[in-house]
A and B are shown apart, each in its own frame.
Chain A
Amino acid sequence: MANISKKICLVGDFSVGKTSLIRRFVEDKFSDRYLSTVGVKISRKVVEFATNQINQSVNLLIWDIEGQTKFQSIAPSYLKGASGSIIVADITRPETLESLQRHLDLFFSVNPQGLVMVALNKSDLAVEEKLARIIQLYNFDLHPQVLATYVTSAKTGEYVELMFRQLAENMIKPLV
């Protein structure tokens, strides 16, 4: 049993693929069906890795938080105590990309020390050139606590595992 537990949250507008990303990471599965998450869903996955030749493991508690809609904003209380967060946007929907900054601000307002990954999801639905442009436009890597911006696809699994792992490792680092 992992003796270190960390809470991470997935934040983003509705239907950007938060639940799918988690599903891909935890169960390595994908479904086209859209299931709206109500409230919160919590998943758990133990991530093991070696840091400085020491085998480490972290018990990731992944909070899948109901996406933000026009009518309902994300409850900040769900974000409390999260060590990290993955802010998700849907590259096929510009308005979700526009929301990224707002989500970032919200997360940092609750967890000033938190680490963040930005996932530009549904990369399987866009062509290369567009991807490149979007990555250029929405790059938050300059922010000190934003670890990276990845173009992910829950469908193909592209960058999903990597993103989660990196986040997990970075959350552990200060302790090592």
Chain B
Amino acid sequence: MATTNQANGSNSNSQSETEIQENLNTLIDLISELNQVEENLTSSNQKDKINKKQHYKPDKDITLEIKQEKKSASTSTDNNFRNKEENKNPILGKEKNLDSLPQRHTTNDNSVIEEGVTVVAEGRSDYEMGIQTPSLSKQCTDDGVLEPNAPKAKSLTLAINQPSQITPLADNTNLVYISENKYTKSQKSIATLQQSVKNLENKLKDNQHQLDEIIDSVNSLISLTVELINLQSNTSPTSIVSIIAPLIDRIIETRSTEDLQIMGKALSTVLPVAITQQIAATPQSIAKALAPEIALSIQEQILLDKESISRSIGPEMGKAIKAQIELERDAMVDALYPVIGSTIAKYMGEVVNTINEKVENALSVEGVKRKIRAKVQGVSEAELILQEALPYQVQAIFLIHKASGLVIRELQPDLDHQLESDLVAGMLTAIRSFANDLISDSSELDEIDYSEYKILLEVAGYCYLAVVVKGEPSKQFRQKTRDVLSKLVLKHGNIIEVYDGDSSTVPESIALLLEELLEQDRQQKSSGSPSTLIWLIVILLSVIFVPWGIFKYKNYVADRVLQQAAIELDAAPELSVYRLTSHIEQGKLILSGRVPSEYLRNIAAERIAKIAQEAKLTLENQIVAINVPTDPTITQEEVERVTSILNQQEGVAILSDYKDYAVTVTGFTLNQTRDALIAQTFKQIPGVEQVIINLDKQLPIVDNRIYFASGSLELNSADFTNSVNQIGQLLAMYPQLHLRIIGHSDRSGIPQDNQKLAQDRANKVATALIAQEINSKRLYIMGSIEPPPGVTANQPLQKSRCVRFEFFIPDRGKNTHNS
């Protein structure tokens, strides 16, 4: 039916959900079917109650209806609906007023619907809620049908008219038709369908609501979450960590797939710090992580910027090498050895060569040398001449075609070390070309220096000469190569120019010319062989050893002389006890040592003089005569002996005291000349170094006199005691002294008596002295009537009556008896 489509159209307005639409469509179809069934029913039952249904028959298409509250008027949106309704009879009086309005025809229907709806609504309260779609309500307004109280409508219900009508029908029907049964069944199915549609709609609505709600709540939640996270991270950071941790890697991954640049930018600021931290914390792990890439990254960087790596490493290289040397010297030495070894070898070679040159200049006596060496080594001179070629030896001569590098002619004198001439020539040519291209076309490669080898290059127009030389070729040799080459070019220039590799085209004369170069070489030789170095060494050695030999010989001679001298000295018994040595110095035989006397010193000199004369040496006697300290007791005895001997001489009465090598002499000498003699005598005694002479020239005078009474012999004891003490001491000290006791008497009386009295008085004193243990032999007694010296005649007599004393030293042999 056409109306179905319209209903469909309005439906689509209100519902965007296609599913629902589809459902509805099927529903509509069903409904239309149902209507047909109903029509049939109505036609058969003309009963008024059922009329209602007939009224609604055209309504079957209308699926949408705005349902109001029971009281309020409902509006139908569909014009068709309205038109069709016009024929319908109002059924309920209650709503008749509404019916009067032509426009409100539909309201009749609505009221009918209400009836039906109420029935239906009982079981479908959920359906009542309906779908509130703004589009629907809008449509209502457009139609202008909407009642002012329309807003009161709680819901715009998608209602299906048919069922609501059917329900009352079902209620009312007491008549049972087959078709009715059928109808009921379909009604039921419609009901379930409606139910399901409603459910669907509800669900959809719910979902939408939920979605909206979720969105709202999420929006409000975001700020909340942020705060929550803040809070949480403050209070318990670990929990936050545990929550977020598993997600972080995924977050980063996702983000970096989205926009790598931004991610890089975000992380870039942190990375350096992070790496620094990590290095500080666990340097090992960073090292492990980076290690495999370092070599690669350096390579990469070198590719990118060759200079940068060397620039950055360069300044540290020196230090690094230094450090490594300090750390592990051997490893460094091993590493550098191959380089340094050959460098040093080359350097040393040069040094030796320079030395050689200098030595040659200094000693240009080649011939003599060679002859001597020939004798020493036992080889022929000719052989030596060859050996002298050592400083430079031509290993090979190549004449090479300049352009192609093909060998025109070669000469290799040394059969043991043949060079691959073709390859050598080729490479030389390539090197020449390379050097020429690289540096300048006008300049030429003259020489290739390969440690001890040299390749001399002499270039002509179409060929060049390469001479492989071991050692340092001379300038003359170079000149010679030039000469040879120019000759070659002059003679065979055209052949050389067109040389195309066929050696048969090369004339033999070229080879002869080249051989000339070898000849020249041999003639040149001579110079600067290392043997000159040997000569230098020989001279150096002789400089060292000749004086040494002379020295040795002189020593030998000297030794012999000294040995003789020693024997000679030993032979003299008086000298043998002394340690005398002799040595030779600058043509002098020097004797040294110590002897106690000049005498012994002279004896030694006399004995050695003969030997010195034989060896043509002058003798220098450095023997020292020294005083041997004498035994003090012996000296003492000697001093005493000398003293006693001296005391026996006339007029000598001395005492000696020896102490500290000095003799002190005290006493009396009557003869002054004796003093010197005494001093000399004591000096001669060994061990006496000093003689102190303290001698009196007069004998001591005894002043004390013993006085007597007139005619008496009685001793005045006081006088006597005084005299005896003095006399006793002196006599004891000087045994040589004798004492003269002289008695005196006064002049009164008879001289003879007086004489006797004087004699007696002297005797008396002598006896008293002897009693005092004075030797009587040393006493000489005499009496005199003369007054004693110093007493005159006019002095009292008493002065004359006395005994006086006089010391004297008697002559030898004479003694007291004589006097």
Contact = CB atoms under 8 A, between A and B. Distances in A.
Nearest to B502: A4
B405 A7 contact: yes
A162 interface: no
B501 A5 contact: yes
B422 A75 contact: no
Contact of B434 (A5, A39, A42, A59): A39
B687 to A, nearest CB: 109
Interface string B409-422: 00000000000101
A175 B502 contact: yes
Interface residues of B, number: 22
B398 to A, nearest CB: 13
27 contacts: A3-B504, A4-B501, A4-B502, A4-B504, A5-B422, A5-B503, A6-B406, A6-B500, A6-B501, A7-B426, A40-B427, A42-B405, A42-B426, A42-B427, A43-B423, A44-B423, A58-B501, A61-B406, A61-B422, A61-B426, A75-B434, A78-B430, A81-B403, A81-B404, A81-B406, A83-B404, A83-B500
B422 A44 contact: yes
Given A6-B501, A44-B420, A80 B430 contact: no
Contacts of A78: 430, 433
Contacts of A58: 501
Contacts of A82: 404
Interface of A: 3-7, 39-40, 42-44, 58-59, 61, 63, 75, 77-78, 80-83, 175
Nearest to A65: B430
Contacts of B778: none
B804 interface: no
Contacts of B437: 75, 77
A1 to B, nearest CB: 9
B83 interface: no
Most buried by B among A5, A40, A63, A78: A5
Interface string B711-738: 0000000000000000000000000000
Interface of B: 401-407, 420, 422-423, 426-427, 430, 433-434, 436-437, 500-504
B403 A42 contact: no
Given A44-B420, A80-B402, A83-B500, 16 more contacts: A4-B501, A4-B503, A5-B502, A39-B430, A40-B434, A43-B423, A59-B501, A61-B406, A61-B422, A61-B423, A61-B426, A75-B433, A77-B437, A81-B403, A81-B405, A82-B404
Among all A-B residue pairs, the 8 with the closest Cβ atoms: A81-B404, A81-B403, A77-B433, A42-B426, A5-B501, A80-B403, A40-B430, A7-B404
A81 B422 contact: no
A35 B633 CA distance: 116
A4 B437 CA distance: 29
Contacts of A61: 404-406, 422-423, 426
Contacts of B404: 7, 61, 80-83
A7 B406 contact: yes
A6 B501 CA distance: 5
Contacts of B436: 77
A98 to B, nearest CB: 26
B132 to A, nearest CB: 75
Nearest to B436: A77
Nearest to A43: B423
Nearest to A42: B426
Contacts of A42: 405, 422-423, 426-427, 430
A5 B436 CA distance: 24
Most buried by B among A7, A44, A58: A7
A117 B475 CA distance: 47
Contacts of A77: 433-434, 436-437
B438 to A, nearest CB: 9
B653 to A, nearest CB: 133
A11 B339 CA distance: 36
